[in-house]
Amino acid sequence: MRQGAFDVANKLWGLEFEERTDIPLYHPDVDLFEVKEADGTHVGILMMDYYTRSSKGFGAWMSSFRRQSRRDGVMVTPIIYNVFNFPAPVGDQPSLISLDNVETLFHEFGHGLQGLLSNCTYNSLSGTSVARDYVELCSQIMENWATHPEVIKSYARHWETGEPIPDELVDRINQASLFNQGFKTVEYLAASYLDMDWHTLEDAELRDVNEFEDASLAKIELMPEIESRYRSTYFQHIFAGGYSSGYYSYIWAEVLDADAFEAFKETSLYDQATAAAFREHILSTGGTEDPMVLYKRFRGREPRIEPLLKNRGLD
Ligand SMILES: [Zn+2]
């Protein structure tokens, strides 16, 4: 699976991932790769920490031991790590990971690439130091390659026979991705509007929560068969999770990644000019400019919603 992700980065940007065993690691399960440009120039270090263990937090994430920056004109190269919670191998069986986990691997690897390919001066603006409703573009776009029929067939192989995943199964995976999207999209958007309504209040008066919710959901004419994904009283994201007025950012990032990936669909899966533009304007720029300015430089226009609707089967 990991090789599948590395191969995509190689075909898009010519990156090479050379495993190094001479560098000390914080845990024996971690693999370390030196990332190089096609011409051999050192880009940075990527560590991959795959398996669940008792001392590890839940979920998956990307972070860094050292972020890219430039000091007195000298490049300080990044040291990035991806952490996952995949099931460890048992006995002589390999770790067999679910499709969800494969997408997670490509997702975190995408964050990793934004850290690795950063080309900024200031540490505080480099890599993934970008606006919250923009930070998932580089990660989510990689998920498009993960399940693309051509890509998935290259890395998803039967662990005993080595046979690539059959076309029929790939079709079913892609069809299943459309299941229930109408419901999921609406319940999510309802919660996003509710979040925005709470966080754009201009006074500090006490309110009846139920009445406030009813008014908020009536405003968007939410049909009674669908409820908001979260009710206010347990909407942790927006009251305790730092997403105050930012719950919408998940779908906004998807608008961006679907529209950005569309640029590859319009040309080809590994179109070199599109890949170079994505690297130059998006992956390397960190938080140095307004995201919409950067995006327009890459795409030549603002993002459109149609690719997201199509991905969700709502077009
Ligand atoms: Zn992410």
How many other C-beta atoms can be found within 10 angstroms of the C-beta atom of residue 166?
12
Eight-state DSSP code of residue 80: E
- Predicted confidence at residue 240, as pLDDT, reads 86
Distance (Å, whole) CA 53 – CA 235: 29
- Pure H helices in 44-166: 99-116, 137-146, 149-155
pTM of the model: 0.94
Active site residue 108: yes
Task: Give CA–CA dist 183/114, Å, rounded.
Answer: 32
Q: For residue 75, how far is its CA from the centre of ligand 1 (angstroms)?
A: 26
* Gap from CA of 73 to ligand 1 centroid (Å): 31
Q: How far is the CA of 254 from the centre of ligand 1 (A)?
A: 11
Beta strand 79-86 with 42-51: parallel, antiparallel or unpaired?
parallel
Decide which of 199 and 243 is more confident: 199
Q: How far is the CA of 129 from the centre of ligand 1 (A)?
A: 13
Strand partners, 35: 17, 44
Residues 64-110: tens digit of each pLDDT: 999 999 999 999 999 999 999 999 999 999 999 999 999 999 999 99
Question: Ligand 1 centre and the CA of 137: distance in Å?
Answer: 8
Which amino acid, one-letter code, is at 219?
A: K
Which pLDDT score is estimated for 275?
A: 98
Gyration radius of the chain's alpha carbons: 21
Centre of ligand 1 to C-alpha 147, Å, is 17
Q: Is the dihedral of CA 97, 99, 100, 104 positive or negative?
A: positive
Cβ count near 208 (within 10 Å): 9
Has residue 251 got a pLDDT over 90?
yes
- Nearest 5°: the CA angle 91, 96, 102 is 150
Ligand 1 centroid to Cα of residue 212, in Å, is 31
**116-120, 234-238, 255-259: the lowest-pLDDT one:** 234-238
Check if the beta carbon of residue 235 is closer than 8 Å to that of residue 195.
yes
Pairwise CA distance, residues 30 & 51, whole Å: 9
Per-residue pLDDT averaged across 209-232, rounded? 94
Residue 237 pLDDT exceeds 90: no
Candidates 34, 108, 143, 205; catalytic one: 108
Give distance in angstroms: CA of 207 to centre of ligand 1. Answer: 34
In the predicted model, is pLDDT for residue 242 greater than 90?
Answer: no
SS3 assignment, position 128:
coil
Distances, alpha carbon 3 to alpha carbons 20, 102, 105, in Å: 15, 11, 11
Round the average pLDDT of the chain to a whole number and report it.
Answer: 96
- Report CA 17 to chain centroid distance, whole Å: 20
Q: Tell me the pLDDT tens digit for each residue of 256-269.
A: 999 999 999 999 99
Mean pLDDT of 31-37: 98
- pLDDT for the residue numbered 202: 96
The CA distance from 295 to 215, in Å, is 35
Q: What is the mean pLDDT of residues 19-44?
A: 97
> Separation of 209 CA from ligand 1 center, angstroms?
31
> Which among 195, 246, 245, 203 is positioned nearest to 220, based on CA atoms?
195
Give the model's pLDDT for residue 209.
Answer: 96
Amino acid at the residue 298? F
The full set of domains in the chain, from first to last, is: 2-129 (3.40.390.10), 179-315 (no CATH)
Could you give the count of Cα atoms lying within 13 Å of 128 in the half-sphere of its Cβ? 24
**What is the model's pLDDT at position 102?**
96
Query: Could you report the per-residue pLDDT of 118-166, keeping only the tens digit for each?
Result: 999 999 999 999 999 999 999 999 999 999 999 999 999 999 999 999 9
> CA-to-CA distance for 16 and 6, rounded, in angstroms?
8
pLDDT average, residue stretch 284-313 = 97
Whether pLDDT at 287 is above 90: yes
Q: Are 19 and 31 in contact (CB under 8 A)?
A: yes
Report the pLDDT averaged over residues 246-273: 96
User: Ligand 1 centre from 111 Cα, in Å?
Assistant: 7
pLDDT at residue 241, as a whole number: 80
- 21/28 Cα distance (integer angstroms): 11
